Structure 1
Amino acid sequence: MGRELASDRVEFHEMENDGLSDYELKSHVIDALASVQLGNRDNYDELVGHLHLRGRRTADQVALLVTTLKALSEAVFHIDSGHHEALLSAIFRLSMWHYGTDVMDALRELIISLATSKGEYVDFCLEMLVRQFVPPLSSQEMLKQPRGISLKYEVLSRVHAALKNIADVVPIAPKRLSPIVVQRMPNIFCKELEIVLYVENMLKLDSGAIGEIVGVTMLPALVDRMIDLDVDIGWDGSLQDDAKDIFEMELEDVAEPADDDDKDDSLSKGTLRRISLEGNEVAGKLDSLMVLTFEHLESCQSSDRLPKVFDVLLESFQKTVINAYKSKFTQFVMFYACALDPEGCGLKFAAVLLDMFISEVTPRITKMSAVAYLASYLSRAKFLSAALVASILQRLVSWCSEYSMLHDVALNPQTHKVFYSGCQAIMYVLCFRLRSLMDVPRLKMQLLNMPIEPILKHKLSPLTVCLPTVVEEFLRQAKAAHLFTTSESFVFNDVLESDLSRAFGGMDRLDMFFPFDPCLLKKSDGYIHKYFIYWSMVRTTYDSDDNIDDEDIGSESENDDDTIMGSFEEHGLDIECFLNRMSITPKNSKYGFERMPSRIRPSTSPESL
């Protein structure tokens, strides 16, 4: 009996060299699998041993591995999870990154066969393939070499092909895949290479054949990871200035001074903050992920998928980003998507933010965040027309006017924070857009008919509560534009450390900055800058027309077909009708909205702008 077993082992070990047919190989593997249940594990253990072999394999060993994997693919129905646990464990621990294309192909076919043969193996096969998204530590350095780049393509092309093949045969596989991908996503402490490579594969899934199924999970998970990185980025303590220089915190083309003593005098605060982020590993990871996302959005636009992808991102924004504590950069994913599709995504984003602010069912902190986002978006997005800005300002002014009439009381920063948020948003937008509105006759008349003056002179006294820098700049431009009808001057005490302003939002707080302040991530800003309005580009009402650069923001012609309104009017559409149609608040609400997000993550941020 012993001699027979020994003979069997030799035959198994040399089965490739014996010229066995595929049928004979399959029969031999089936016999090895069946022998386990009869108490004979020798051939089975040798079979498992071929898969467990570590280190560099000889050519014969590689050939034997390929033969073994192919034979197992033909015998998957004879594999039993109860008796062959060691074999399954060995299979699922194999990494394509360690082998050539022959082994990769044989392993891919085995995994597909296992997943499509029995439902109990689907999750294990999907998880094994997802693990291939990132190479083992021993292979990561190779990715920096030409051979590594080629290996990356060889591995990942087979991984995604296998996932598609499994999804074609097992319809439930994509839904089972989504939570696996999300759960195995690298955390913020992993190497940048690991996170970036993993996200590349996530986005490839979203843009692939199963993208419509997995995208609703992949993209929100990516946004959540970017938020995790975002809030983990800390500013240098010396840069946590108050908001008194809010219009001076722009990036400028200024060379960094050699003498550190002169740095504060030579560079803008925005430039200093960018310098402080150089070499910051967390910021570098976030910057890389945002660039990947921007490129993915461009791809979606080219394939006409951007509107659907934007809806997924918008829902994620409402659930996480809008109330994320001190989110500094992640929100630019929304900004860039809107820039790629101003007439669709761009208008929808503005409408949703407006609805969130004036809806009666929105939590107070979310209202304040929404109107801060709205104000910053209207001010900074170069692709939005003055006509759209005027229409939304009309809504904001109407809300603030009605609120002030219903609350004929003395100022109270704590109780009426939402009102002050709305007032500050109106003034902030006009700091950037007043000149362009006044230069178009019909928009000028629309603006002059808005009851802005009574709101600012109300007993709630918003001028003494809102950010002093915003108030000061707004009043300066309003005076130059003759925005107010009375000759009475506004009384404004330029006290930048006002206790009232502290009570409303908190001076000396980075979360006072508007969400779309200039992006300080170098690679990401390269995508954003052409769509972005910097303060240095703004033509204010008190500016002369001398030395105005062609790229500066100037007056807008009523027949400007390069703006959103030009396109809308060309098709006989009205922006007010569009905003009403885009409404998301319940229809029984006072302001006529359709719905709110199904879930809003509890905010950890202080009740400030």
Structure 2
Amino acid sequence: MSVISSRRRGRAPSSSTPSILKKPRSLKSRLSEVKTSVKVKFMLPHSQKVHSILEEYKDGTISRDYENLLCLIRDAELTDEDVSSLLKEATECISILNQDLRLFVEALLSIDWTGKSREVVAEYHSFVVNLLSAHNYHSKLVVEKLVTLFVPNATDVDWPDGVPTDADYRKCVNVHTLLNLLLSVVPMCKEILINFLTKKFPYYNKSTHIHEYYLHNLLWTLDYQPGFRQDILYLVISKLVILDVSASKEMIAKCTAEEEIFPMDDDSRSVRTCTTSTTSTIANSYALSNTLDVCMDKLFNYIIAECHSSEDGELIWDKAKALYLDLITVFDKVVLPTYDPQHVQFVMFLMCCLKPTIAEAFLNYLWKKMCNPNVARVIRRAAVNYIASLLARANFVPLSMLKGTLQQMAEWIHSYISNQDALESVNYDLRVHSVFYSVCQALFYVVSFRYKDLVRSKKNIIFLQSLNMAKMVTCRLNPLRVCQPAIVQNFAAITRNYQLAYCYTIIEHNARDKLPVIYDDDYNETTRDVTLDTYYPFDPYVLERSGKKIQPFYRDYEESPQDSMEVDETVSNQEEDDFLCNQELSSTPNSKINKFSYGSSPGFRFKT
């Protein structure tokens, strides 16, 4: 009986003519009618009926019953008892569930089973394992359905402090238990799983919780499939690099300042909900930085947990060594060729802090990369920057390792200078000698940053004298001409103070002789500055949540009052031309000279 007829039956007879105007109903009353609507309950057919329906469909005789069965499975609200009964009936029909019945199999796999009772979950696991054991061509469909469960529902709540809720934890356990069974029973699922993990990885502007949920499950797979680790790490770090380069340190700092004044809304919604362009930019950067922070924290937690014993927290050397080898492979393919990443490279920083042996191995890898003439120059220069930044910023690098690396760099520089001095003429083009200039700047940078550790004893001062830095700055290639002004000024003050080299005459000459350089390429003539780039990968880590794991091992540059007095005294004793040179340098914009840093890192300041 229709709703209209029932209403008419409940209306009292009236002799008066009804009005055409009806009393308006409230929204509350209309919503109550929707909520109280009666849902239809379907009855599942017994097993013999299901078997006969499937057989008749395969024979091509009756298709309506098959279509009704599919609609029943997809649309009806199935209880635990219904699902268990249906899975048992489907298990009895395993032998005939070939590709012709793909829609029926897909409907069964789409049942919401992860939150059901243990009996239903066990029945589902049994059905899937038996299905793939008999018909492995359903493997792609099964694995795709399972990987789709790595993405949370839109109504799921966020995880407090990155810890899954009890309900989400149970769901994840059920999914990974089944995946582990399938990978052991059907080996071909391994390659299929890697492909779908890559395909289903969330787009970079999805919500933080989606990325956190998916990354949590990705790393979970490594518990029972450690052979996937290099592929999983490659996938994760590649995706995090996209997030990293999309959220610069300057924008993160701006978003932090904006948040202190105007707190952002929860980022579980898509970042596309913003209206104005300015608000959209700020909200987008805030969401990206927050997502990157959460994901980096997850990755750091995995590294720490994988390398340490869960009982006493002691370092397990074999596991740490194996993880380093996987990470260095991914670093070589993804991170090192990437220009100006801000945070992802700190996975290597965290690995190096576990044991000095790992830090030494990482430095040796970078140095071999730099010395290899078959490697692209841009990669060799990046390797030098990583060496310099690690030596300057890592407080776990011992003094012996620091001195040994500086000795290697000095020997390479002097060998390069000797080869150039043997030539009748020298090409001073920065592009030709970019690797040499990068190594020189790296040495000047490390000496300037770590000079307090290098001048504490007479023995260390003698070591600095043995580097023969005076020959470096006075060679025909003139590295002070192309190094960053902040590095040059601090290096000059320190080397003069400890009588290691005298740079001010060369600085003055370079200041007078500095002219713009025009490079004629294949397209057009472009004017470029004759200065090396300013990227040092281990400049300060600005993400708050994951940065807590980096800060205990990180060295910030702190300038003491005694240092200021010494440098000021050195500058005041300069000749008139030296003072003019220093004044000319200090007349540049403050944003370029008040920091011995690159990006947002604090560091050495110019003395005026």
- Same fold at TM > 0.5: yes
Kept after mapping to 2: 8 A contact 1:404/1:458? yes
Question: Judging changes above 3 Å, is the alpha-carbon distance between structure 1 residues 74 and 386 closer, same or farther for their aligned structure 2 residues?
Answer: farther
Question: C-alpha separation between the residues in 2 aligned to 1:336 and 1:72?
Answer: 50
Identify which of 409, 414, 425 aligns with 1:396.
409
The reply to whether residue 282 of structure 1 matches residue 288 of structure 2 is: yes
Q: Secondary structure, in 3 states, of the residue corresponding to 2:549?
A: helix
1:412-450 Cα offsets, whole Å, 9 max, x none, are 323211111010000111112222123255544333212
Helix, strand or coil for the counterpart of 1:140?
Answer: coil
Structure 2 match to 1:155: 171
**SS across alignment from 2:231:** helix
Alignment of 1:204-603 (within 5 A): 204-206=220-222, 208-211=223-226, 213-234=227-248, 280-302=286-308, 304=316, 305-343=319-357, 345-408=358-421, 409=426, 411-440=428-457, 442-484=459-501, 490-493=505-508, 512-536=534-558
1:1-27 Cα shifts (integer Å, max 9, x gaps): xxxxxxxxx998364xxxxxxxxx4x5
CA 1:31 to 1:507, structure 2 compared with 1: closer, same or farther past 3 Å? farther
- Counterparts of 1:470 and 1:126, CA distance in 2: 55
Counting aligned pairs with the same residue, the percent is 21
Distance apart, 1:369 and its partner CA? 0.7
Q: Does 1:68 align with 2:80?
A: no
Alignment of 1:71-90 (within 5 A): 71-81=89-99, 83-90=100-107
Specify the code of the residue in structure 2 equivalent to 1:415. Answer: V
CA 107–145 in structure 1, closer or farther in 2 if over 3 Å, else same: farther
Q: Residue type of the partner of 2:241?
A: I
Per-residue CA deviations over 1:490-541 (Å, capped at 9, x if unaligned) read 5324969966799999779996231111011111221111100101278997
Q: Does the 8 A contact of 1:435 with 1:539 survive in 2?
A: no
Q: 1:103, 1:522 → 2: CA distance?
A: 43
Letter in 2 for 1:184: K
Mark the CA change 1:352 to 1:477 in structure 2 (over 3 Å): closer, same or farther: same
The question of whether the paired residues in 2 share the 8 Å contact of 1:431 and 1:540 is answered with: no
Cα distance in 1 for partners of 2:71, 2:146 equals 22
Q: State the partner residue of 1:37.
A: 58
Task: Report how far residue 238 of structure 1 moved.
Answer: 13
Query: Would you say the 8 A contact 1:104–1:155 is kept in 2?
Result: no
In structure 1, C-alpha distance between the alignment counterparts of 2:161 and 2:420, rounded to whole Å: 68
SS for the counterpart of 1:113 is: helix
1:553-572 alpha-carbon deviations (Å, 9 max, x no partner):
xxxxxxxxxxxxxxxxxxxx
Task: Give the AA of the match of 1:53.
Answer: D
Contact 1:313 1:334 survives alignment (8 Å): yes
Once residues 108 and 383 of structure 1 are traced to their aligned partners in structure 2, the CA distance between those partners, rounded to angstroms, is 49
Q: Deviations over 1:285-328 (max 9, x none)?
A: 11111100000000111154232222222111111211213211
**1:142 to partner: Cα distance:** 7.6
2-structure distance, mates of 1:386, 1:499: 40
Can you give the 5+ residue segments of structure 2 that lack an aligned partner in the other structure?
1-40, 262-281, 310-315, 520-525, 567-608
Segments of 5+ residues of structure 1 without an aligned counterpart are 1-9, 16-24, 241-253, 259-275, 545-609
| SS at structure 1 position matched to 2:441 | helix
Are the aligned partners of 2:73 and 2:107 in contact in 1 as well (CA < 8 Å)? yes
For 1:100-249, list aligned pairs within 5 A: 101-137=118-154, 139-141=155-157, 149-206=165-222, 208-211=223-226, 213-234=227-248
The structural deviation recorded for 1:101 is 5.0
Q: Is the 8 A contact 1:220 1:312 kept in 2?
A: no
Compare relative contact order (CA 8 Å, sep 6+) and give the higher one, 1 or 2.
1
2:215 is aligned with what amino acid? V
**Cα 1:238–1:125, aligned 2, differ >3 Å: closer, same or farther?**
closer
Distance of aligned partners of 1:143 and 1:227 in 2 relative to their CA distance in 1, 3 Å threshold? closer
Amino acid in the other structure paired with 2:87: L
1:32 is displaced (CA, Å) by: 3.3
Q: Which piece of structure 1 moves more, 156-165 or 308-317?
A: 308-317
1:49 and 2:71 aligned: yes
Specify the code of the residue in structure 2 equivalent to 1:31: S
Q: Deviations for 1:586-608, whole angstroms, at most 9, x for unmatched residues?
A: xxxxxxxxxxxxxxxxxxxxxxx
Q: Is the 8 A contact 1:431 1:477 kept in 2?
A: yes
Aligned to 1:604: none
Against the structure 1 CA distance between its residues 537 and 76, is the aligned structure 2 distance closer, same or farther, given a 3 Å change threshold?
A: farther
Specify the alignment match of 1:557 in structure 2. Answer: none
SS where residue 548 of structure 2 aligns?
helix
For residues 471-499 of structure 1, what are the alpha-carbon distances to aligned partners after superposition, in whole Å with 9 as ceiling and x for unaligned? 11112122223324xx7865324969966
CA distance in 2, matches of 1:289, 1:146: 10
Are 1:410 and 1:459, in contact at CA under 8 Å, matched by a contact in 2? Answer: no
Normalising to structure 2: TM-score of the pair? 0.71
> Which structure has the larger Rg?
2
Partner of 1:595: none
Q: Structure 1's 47 and 533: CA in aligned 2 closer, same or farther, altered over 3 A?
A: same
With normalisation by structure 1, the TM-score equals 0.71
1:278, distance to aligned residue in structure 2 (A) = 11
Cα distance per residue 1:54-89 (max 9 Å; x no partner): 5xx26xx442222102332343232011x2122022
Shift of 1:97: 5.4
Kept in 2: contact 1:477–1:540 (CA 8 A): no
Is the 8 Å Cα contact of residues 505 and 512 (structure 1) preserved in structure 2?
no
2:394–2:555 Cα contact (<8 Å) kept: yes
Q: Give me the CA root mean square deviation.
A: 3.8
- Say whether the 8 Å CA contact 1:112–1:165 is kept in structure 2: yes
SS at match of 1:492: helix
Deviation at 1:396, TM superposition (A): 1.1
